[in-house]
Amino acid sequence: MKRIFILALLFSTVLYPASLKSGIYKAEYDYSKVSENTYIREKIVPCEELTTNNIMQRYKCSDLKVFKDGKKVFLRIRSYMDTGNFVHMNRGDYIAELKEGKNGLYYGKNDYIDFQLRKTGDDELELTVISRIKYSSTEFPMRGGAYVPEGNDRIVFKYKGKITENDENESVKSAQDFKDTAEELGINYGNYKKLENEIYYGDKKVEDADFDSFIVYKSSVYYSMVFSDYAKDKNNIFYAGKLWKVPDYNSFQFLGESYSRDKDNIYYSGKKIRGADLETFRIINWAYAKDKKYVYLKGEIVKGEDPAEFKL
């Protein structure tokens, strides 16, 4: 009987790995690694330490709550900047379901943010912000302006105490207020915007778009936050806000930046690249690509370049 119990315990441990420790975590930061210049210094601090009387300073505060089930988290990020000429505050309150990945990684994702959590100790978590979007009134708080290179925003959190029902209720309400504000102003995905059950490209409505299934492709080459002009819903593919019937819907793939493909062709900015080799075509950077025959610059063949030898 004892042997059966031990085997059952081992079996359950393999199938159901321990979830993250629930509780309240506060941001920790190694200030020695913060670059400083003549004008602005940036520090990450717990949110209750955020002040508004530090001239020429940039502060970020972050709190993390892992709810009791260990599968749902609340992340609060505040960014405060005082340049001496103006004061600006951004905020983000996110609730996300966690999915467990390999090597102790947990992934959280919703309409506004993608991030991963990694256990670095019994009472310590490291969060890496993968991407964030912005809504109309202000950018979500992030280092470096509108776009953050993937994996560039890392914050270490230390466990500070148990979570209570009030903690969870306050977090849910705060995240809902944040969501309501974003939906009221519209959510930007690059040149596209979702607003009041309509899709817009710039100030023009995207016709024939299905609101619920509409997605805008993000670049996978350099910046995960740069949204392309390519989009799709459950019925159609769109380019630059217009219905695009050229590619095959079922085999369509966004390759990154302005490049895409289907089972028959490679495209740049919605235009077919004639003669491109489907099997060997790959992107080099935001403008350049190559296959076994040619080097391409913004979809055009670069004459005189050997793709086997070509380097930037």
Task: State pLDDT tens for residues 117-139.
Answer: 888 888 999 888 776 665 433 33
In the predicted structure, residue 42 carries a pLDDT above the cut 90: no
pLDDT band for position 187 (50/70/90)? confident
Q: What is the pLDDT of residue 136?
A: 38
Least reliable range by pLDDT among 181-185, 241-245, 252-256, 283-287:
181-185
In the predicted structure, residue 233 carries a pLDDT above the cut 80: yes
Buried b (16+ CB within 10 A) or exposed e, 169-208: eebeebbeebbeebeeeebbbbebbbbeeebbbeeeebee
Q: What is the pLDDT of residue 110?
A: 77
pLDDT band for position 285 (50/70/90)? confident
Q: What is the pLDDT of residue 15?
A: 30
Buried b (16+ CB within 10 A) or exposed e, 2-24: eeeeeeeeeeeeeeeeeebebbb
Overall pTM surpassing 0.95 (yes/no): no
Arithmetic mean of pLDDT over the chain: 76
In the predicted structure, residue 8 carries a pLDDT above the cut 80: no
pLDDT band for position 142 (50/70/90)? very low
CA angle (19 as vertex; 18, 21 as ends), nearest 5: 110
Q: What is the pLDDT of residue 188?
A: 75
Neighbours of 136 (CB within 10 A): 13
Q: What is the DSSP pairing of strand 113-121 with strand 134-135?
A: unpaired
94 or 111, which is more confident: 94
In the predicted structure, residue 12 carries a pLDDT above the cut 80: no
Q: At 12, phi and psi to the nearest 5?
A: -70, -35
